[in-house]
Structure 1
Amino acid sequence: MSTATQTPAPGHGTQGEAHEGAEHVDPAALPASARRAPLGFGVLALVSLIVFAFNGPDQSVTFRISGDGDLFQVPNVVVPGLVTGWVITIALAALTVFAFLRVRSGRLTPTWSVVLYGALFVAGFLVWVVGSANNPSVSLTGLLAGGVALAVPLVFGSLSGLMCERSGVVNIAIEGQLLFGAFSAAIAGSVSGSAWVGLLAAMIGAALVSLVLAVFSITYRVNQMIVGVVLNVLVSGLTGFLFATLLESDAGRFNSPPRLPSFAIPVLSELPLVGRILFDQSIVGYFMWLAIPIVWFAVYRTRWGLRTRAIGEHPKAADTLGINVNRMRFVNVLLGGLIAGIGGSFYTLVSVTSFTRDMTSGAGYIALAALIFGRWNPIGAFLAALLFGVASNLQSVLSFLGTSMPSQFLAMLPYVITILAVAGLVGASRGPASAGQPYVKE
């Protein structure tokens, strides 16, 4: 046990973290992705200079924190658009220089500076984009609450991918899991008249997709990415066929599920900013807030989590210690399916009360991107999913504000950031070493 506390668990830390407290070493010894971090910082700082500073809004921007029904009122935050753009650009430039000096001395840029950099850039972008609107005022509570609601299925999808990939199985089939979960929830909820039965059916339906993935990728050692893509196409075609032949012909019987209950916690839901986000949710929303810390604790603080990360990093070594690698991978993939099913139920039991063809609209692929962007960590995956959710919600908000910003630009922004993250331009991003590699016991 003492050894486990002194040595970072496989996949939990990055190679650069070992360098943070070290003395001067050769920068060439750092991972290539770590050496590229200052370059990514510099590119974004240049973007900030051109967009936020030179082309910043001349008018002030108002961020409303409190709503009419809040327990108490918090004053609005009013910032000058142009001045804020310059201040943020200078701060980003300073962090870029700091990152360059760290890498030059053979040490990785610390995590806090990456988080601060990202927060400043997002703040600068919000000031710039809201300041370009006819009415430069936005409710932070509404923006974040709407973003969290849109991120709920993405979070469950990314947690499903984390369960699989931490154990060494690449899960491209998240889209199929979410879609079949939504379909199963609609059918079972409609026939039984119970939303809870629909939720259970969604979990079972997504787990069936995981079962096929596990059988072919673990037992028969078929290429995991190909199996995942085929499952997505299969589920899309199957649910589309059943929707056209069964659900549309008798929607009242097969496609009218009841809605899962939503409720607000008294007093706490009336707190400014955090009240609606944390304490005024649907059942699935509350499940999300519980799932994130539970999965994190299970992965990083339990024996099961240690074994899961071990078989994802070095399955042969885990096998020599008596761990049944393939059986544990099989179980983890099924657990991932159950988790994805909860996210799938959001579409037909919370968001709307009917199933439509391909209603997930690629959410599984976005969840996979959030998992990679979040560095295979539950908290990081949640923050990345929240980024996608807020960006999607921002499109709707800005359309009401009357901004000239094309909605397509906002839609593609999270994907551009994800590409930069995966490329290592904002720090090292390394998945489990044995993910995607079938294990054959010798």
Structure 2
Amino acid sequence: MDTQESGDLLLPRSRQANERLHAMIPGGAHTYAKGDDQYPDDLAPVISHGRGAHVWDVDGNRYVEYGSGLRSVSLGHAHPRVVEAVRRELDRGSNFVRPSVVEVEAAERFLATVPTAEMVKFAKNGSDVTTAAVRLARAVTGRARVAICGDHPFYSVDDWFIGTTPMSAGVPAATTDLTVAFPYGDLAATEELLTRYRDEVACLILEPATHTEPPPGYLAGLRELADRHGCVLVFDEMITGFRWSEAGAQGLYGVVPDLSTFGKALGNGCAVSALAGRRDLMEWGGLRHSGDRVFLLSTTHGAETHSLAAAMAVQTTYAEEGVTARLHALGERLAAGVRDAAAGMGVADHVVVRGRASNLVFATLDEHRRPSQPYRTLFLRRLLAGGVLAPSFVVSDALSDADIDHTVDVVAQACAVYRKALDAGDPTPWMGGRPVKPVFRRSV
């Protein structure tokens, strides 16, 4: 039975599958953001399959899904053009002892899509390429410090970043001490940091935009600061790539970084990421220069032909079907509906939609308008009961107007319960158990 046709959601098979997952896999998932601690008690569905904007769990419940694959499945699950491209290459073999001609074609396609870059190297996930960018910047500049934008949540699983989070166990302090942070949108504070660590900072790395647009002149100002202080400017375009424009935020805002990293939407769920940038920097990781060699990226599976074929199919689909514009239109429709529903139930100051239309998130605020995990738990529980799986409101191209209308109806029902909890001054009776937890926390 579809969840939207049932009362309280029951997930006995998912609960059993979660126990099996935890018995064999640390955390019960291969990405912490997919952990069952991110969902209400006993309401962490284990997915059986997906098609388009819908997924089905092992209990047979169907959901409208948002944030698909942590923003990676932007065209929808099992997209026919991507599936066909992958199937075609699988029949031809997927990995060889020498480069495949597909690697040439994929590089040409990527550099045509992101013309601000001159060379590209592919890998499997975002951490591969952000860490490669940091290593390359250190090699080129001869400097050890890395400056990260501290307002952005995630850059890599590697020590240079994870050591700065509450989950820093296992990372030597000497490594963490080499990473410093600057605030987003504040050029004066960034210049002060670069002056304090004069000639020590190898790179500035940031997401060029997230849930807020860059202030006017900000990215251009960072470009000027990086040039003046002799450090490398790195844009992490994991999220902004394709969702902001086909060429990422750099293509939209017209500011060219020295290096940039792409992933997520690039493969529509297939494992592929990219480090791209200036030829004179990228060649440090190659064979045609006179300096010391940089071990930039060397991955056995980085050039699997089926993943590169998926990336090419994604880029073709975006270009031919105007996907980025549609993502924005769908997001605008959803955001307007959710805001109207929240206002109609008197919780517009507590259920808040934020971000660019193609990359919407929501905040759940308590009676004092502070972020609240208990109220998030209540909200997620009601969404799930209505057949909406939404850790965020990030849209995919596969959503229909009917999907969004259904989502807005479910949000309205959730907001009605939210209002009751606010009036009672306590969401506990509607939580159904312990609150959901933040991903980055020191203790279990």
Q: TM-score, normalised by structure 1?
A: 0.27
Higher share in helix:
1
Task: Tell me: higher relative CO, structure 1 or 2? Use CA pairs within 8 A at least 6 residues apart.
Answer: 1
Structure with higher strand content: 2
